[in-house]
Amino acid sequence: MRLVPAPAGSGIVFRRSDVAKVSYATSLMRQGVLISTTEHLLSAFVGLGVDNVIVEIDNLEVPILDGSSLPYVDAILGAGLKRQRRKREYMRILKPVEVRENTPHGEKFIGVYPGEGYSIDYRIDFPAPIGKDHFVGDLEAGAYTGLIAPARTFGFREDEAMLRDMGLIRGASDACAIIIGEGKVLNGPLRFPDEFVRHKVLDLIGDLALAGRRIWGRVVAERAGHAMHTALVQRLLRDRSAWELTTRTEPAENRSAAAFEPSFA
């Protein structure tokens, strides 16, 4: 995979250089060309304020690396970012948009609301040893690299065979995810005591990037996941009265990944 600088106004563009719905990861498809597991890379772009970049990839899946977005963040920062003169265009939320799902275990929920900055309030509730947890933060505070990027994806050992049969997690191993089994973390230690909910926030940031602009507002989620994250994006895009495209009064220029050509295997 290679990241190529792009002119202001280009946005984030994926190009398959070779040539579905997936409920456990975020996928992009256009004209029959599929790219999977984009959320960690997209999350890194949003967290670092990268607005314009071309992602060239010759495979079905974006590399999972260590299961977090930190390797992408480190590589992008190592290569450098180019500040562009055109102001960043935001999707400013004007009214609430919500998605709810009733399940045998209770309601799942995600909503986006008017507000300043890009605040996220996320609650999770999983079987032991994860349990219930809660994270609140704001991307405008600039703490993505330290607080969110290192949080790794996680999965239950009992689900591994099913996911592989579905053609997923083909390159997964204990080195690229937190593995849970027998009621405990099998490959600790954790990077944060609340690493699980932090990773859900990481995923959310990447999934909401599918809206095409950085959110200006407040996001609240409870027991949501990729499917609900992307359902919120779809509902938001369908309701043109719920948002407006605007720039901020303070300088928030576009950024592009600069001269960044590492090979992620």
Sole residue written with tokens 């997936």? 22
Q: Using CA atoms, how far apart are residues 77 and 259, in angstroms rounded to an integer? A: 11
229 is catalytic: no
Beta strands 243-246 and 90-93 are antiparallel
Cis preceding-peptide flag for 189 (omega within 30 of 0): yes
Task: Collect all residues with Cβ–Cβ distance below 8 Å to 130 and sequence separation of at least 6.
Answer: 124, 154, 180, 196
Q: Where are the beta strands (DSSP E) in the chain?
A: 2-5, 12-16, 28-30, 33-35, 53-57, 81-87, 90-93, 97-103, 106-113, 118-126, 131-138, 154-156, 178-181, 184-185, 214-222, 243-246, 253-257
Residue 50's closest CA among 261, 263, 244, 252? 252
Sole residue written with tokens 């997923």? 168
Q: Using CA atoms, how far apart are residues 100 and 86, in angstroms rounded to an integer? A: 37
Q: Using CA atoms, how far apart are residues 80 and 78, in angstroms rounded to an integer? A: 6
| Set 40, 105, 199, 226: catalytic member | 226
Active site residues: 226
